Amino acid sequence: MNNPIVLIGKSSLNEAELFFNKFQNEKIFILVDSNSKEYCLDIFMSYFPFLVKSIILEINSGESIKSLNTISLLAGKLVQHKAEKNSLLINLGGGVISDIGGFLASIFNRGINYVNIPTTLLSQVDASVGGKTGVNFNHIKNKLGFFYNPKLVLIFPLFLKTLPKLEIASGFGEIFKYSLISDKKMWNVLKKTKFELDSTLEKLILGSVIIKEKIVQKDLFDNNIRKVLNFGHTIGHAVESVYLHSHKFNHGICVVIGMICESYISNKLNYLPDSVFLEIQKTLVSKFSLTKIENIERVISFIISDKKNKNNEIKLITISEIGNANFDVSVTENDIKKSLNFFNSLYE
């Protein structure tokens, strides 16, 4: 599977236009949700006015829309508009849009071309790159999915000006993850940074994309080293699944909770020194607005069904120092429970 072209910033407009021109004789579809349609579609069209004849596919916003029902409805619209094997689907939106659109592209006519235009910080540094697609199933996040790379990922930091502060913080959660698994220099920058839209953030976006692309190139199908990208996600996804419909926590905040818990486990299993764990815990707690987790037993029940588990063993990503992660570490339900209780103790 070929790696996508990744372009960042207005300086890449000419190269992006050349790419889109390849599809001038094909049907082009643009998938948006209610937010990206309102805040980003006109901006995107102003960059590429020749795409005005594209067919707009609109869905509601939010994690709860990531379902097979949505895929069925969108596939029906593609059939209605006579989409073909060489058609192009442009996903304009956040992580939900890239997950749904990528999954739709992977199964329609056994695979059509698609492009990700991420409009949130979270999707710019994570969901839009790496080729993972998926929908939620039986209240489990991303239970159904496929590896299918976009042809192009086009990142415009300008879109971030449309976001509320909570969404910016969510994206920073994933950036902190990249630093903890791969880049201590990035960690040191992040410790000092405020969550602002400035030139430092654009560098952090680029750094995050480079880290992810390097790892994915070594292991596209998540068999070994790519698993380190899930640091904070085993526990984080379980928390997110519990609160999927209440919207108490967004994805990036759940990952931060997961990173604190999984750093705690790394420390208790003697991978991570006390002083480093304390630095991680204090930094993340000070940077993010977090609250106590309710219903720990239900969180654990989701972790037991996590797709990364093997032979009925819970598999976790641990870290041994800032910038160095380990994958496929076996842990117990009790390890998970202790970490969640520790997290809650920080907010009593």
Which H or E element spans position 320?
strand 314-321
In the DSSP assignment, the letter for residue 193 is -
For 149-208, strand residue ranges (E) read 152-155
Banded model confidence at residue 305, pLDDT cuts 50, 70, 90: confident
In the DSSP assignment, the letter for residue 126 is I
CATH annotation of 165-345: 1.20.1090.10
Of 134-138, 196-200, 242-246, which gets the smallest average pLDDT? Answer: 242-246
Q: What is the mean pLDDT of the chain?
A: 95
Percentage of the chain beyond pLDDT 90 is 87
Banded model confidence at residue 310, pLDDT cuts 50, 70, 90: confident
How open is the CA angle 177-180-184, to the nearest 5 degrees?
A: 130
CA-nearest of 144, 125, 58, 69 to 97 is 58
Please state, in angstroms and rounded to a whole number, the distance separating the CA atoms of residues 340 and 348.
Answer: 13
| Mean pLDDT, range 158-182, rounded to an integer | 95
Edge-to-edge strand ranges of the sheet holding 55-59: 5-8, 152-155, 113-118, 88-93, 28-33, 55-59
| Mean pLDDT, range 28-33, rounded to an integer | 98
What is the separation of C-alpha 14 from the centre of its chain, rounded to a whole number of angstroms?
27
Q: Are the beta carbons of 125 and 178 closer than 8 angstroms?
A: yes
Please state, in angstroms and rounded to a whole number, the distance separating the CA atoms of residues 298 and 121.
Answer: 29
pLDDT in tens, 114-138: 999 999 999 999 999 999 999 999 9
How open is the CA angle 17-22-27, to the nearest 5 degrees?
A: 105
Token pair for 224? 């070994």
**pLDDT over 70 (residue 1):** no
Task: Give the pLDDT score at 248.
Answer: 82
Considering only residues 312 and 207, tell me which one the structure prediction assigns the higher pLDDT: 207
Torsion of CA 18, 23, 27, 33, to 10 degrees: -40
| Mean pLDDT, range 190-207, rounded to an integer | 93
**pLDDT over 80 (residue 307):** no
What is the separation of C-alpha 26 from the centre of its chain, rounded to a whole number of angstroms?
29
So where are the chain's domains? 5-161, 165-345
Please state, in angstroms and rounded to a whole number, the distance separating the CA atoms of residues 112 and 66.
Answer: 20
| Mean pLDDT, range 257-275, rounded to an integer | 98
Q: Tell me if residue 87 falls in helix, strand or coil.
A: coil
**pLDDT over 70 (residue 240):** yes
Of 25-34, 39-48, 190-199, 282-291, which gets the smallest average pLDDT? Answer: 190-199
b/e sequence 10-34, b meaning 16+ C-beta within 10 Å: eebeeebeebbeebeeebbbbbbbe
CA-nearest of 336, 340, 264, 257 to 304 is 336
Tell me if 5-161 shares its fold with 165-345: no
| Mean pLDDT, range 99-121, rounded to an integer | 98
Please state, in angstroms and rounded to a whole number, the distance separating the CA atoms of residues 74 and 104.
Answer: 8
Token pair for 3? 């790696």
| Mean pLDDT, range 75-96, rounded to an integer | 98
Radius of gyration over alpha carbons of the chain, in Å? 20
**pLDDT over 80 (residue 247):** no
Q: Tell me if residue 128 falls in helix, strand or coil.
A: coil
How open is the CA angle 30-34-38, to the nearest 5 degrees?
A: 85
Q: Is 94 exposed, middle or buried (0-12, 13-18, 19+ CB in 10 A)?
A: buried
**pLDDT over 90 (residue 193):** yes
Task: Give the pLDDT score at 226.
Answer: 96
Please state, in angstroms and rounded to a whole number, the distance separating the CA atoms of residues 97 and 115.
Answer: 11
Tell me the HSE value of 170 on the side-chain side, using a 13 A CA sphere.
24
Task: Give the pLDDT score at 218.
Answer: 94
CATH annotation of 5-161: 3.40.50.1970
Token pair for 122? 């979270």
Banded model confidence at residue 246, pLDDT cuts 50, 70, 90: confident
Task: Give the pLDDT score at 333.
Answer: 95
Token pair for 291? 């609250």
**pLDDT over 80 (residue 255):** yes
Task: Give the pLDDT score at 245.
Answer: 76
Banded model confidence at residue 311, pLDDT cuts 50, 70, 90: confident
**pLDDT over 70 (residue 280):** yes
